[in-house]
A = this chain, B = another copy of it.
Amino acid sequence: MDDGPSSPGRHRQPLRADAQRSVDALLAAAAQVFAESGVDAPVRQITARADVGAGTLYRHFPQRSDLIAAVFRREVDACAAVGPTLAAQYEPLEALTRWLERFAGFVATKRGLSAALHSGDPAYDSLPGYFQQHFEPVLADLLDSAARAGAIRSDADPWDLLRAIGNLAVPLEDGDDHTQRMISLLVDGLRYGAGSAPRQA
């Protein structure tokens, strides 16, 4: 979930208690600020909200991309973890719908990150893989359960769906319910061929 310092090996040392607090506060603050002002937001805005000095930030995240990548991974983990929880709590179709909405919320906070991803900085190279690796199995399980229950067709491709919703949620940004309507439309589309022979995802 939270790797302490920068990029390479996970966490080398157990991190002192206050240091762990700082890292957590920074990641939480950065997540909020990134969502509000994009990944190019001023550093001071983050340190101020985390109630932390600038030196503390640079101690744990020497490169800006370290912070961005860490926030990204943390949010991917959080969103992916919701999948099994929902699956245990709701019937398959309901769990699927709710998770897709949650995923749309995740995507909505990624304003400006797309540009960073294509900036050529090698620090971001691993993120798309991380994204796919963690989300695809979660959605695959949700789809599978719903299909077994006869609630949706069985030929939906998880990765296609993820990208479709990603494209749906990105251009809006504003808090209207357009994305939500689109998602339910997609789910309805999945339900269409439930019992009989389906066509495509």
CB within 8 Å of B: which of A88-113? Answer: 111-112
A114 CB-CB contact with B under 8 Å: yes
Q: How far is the CB of A7 from chain B (nearest CB, A)?
A: 21
A12 CB-CB contact with B under 8 Å: no
Tell me which of B111, B114, B116, B119 contacts A112 (CB under 8 A). B119
A17 CB-CB contact with B under 8 Å: no
Q: Render A108-126 as a binary contact track against B, CB cut-off 8 A, 1 for contact.
A: 0001101110111000000
User: How far is A116 from B115 in the complex, measured between Cα atoms in Å?
Assistant: 7
Tell me which of B111, B116, B118 contacts A114 (CB under 8 A). B118
Q: Which residue of B lies closest to A114 (CB)?
A: B118
User: How far is A12 from B115 in the complex, measured between Cα atoms in Å?
Assistant: 34
Q: How far is the CB of A37 from chain B (nearest CB, A)?
A: 13
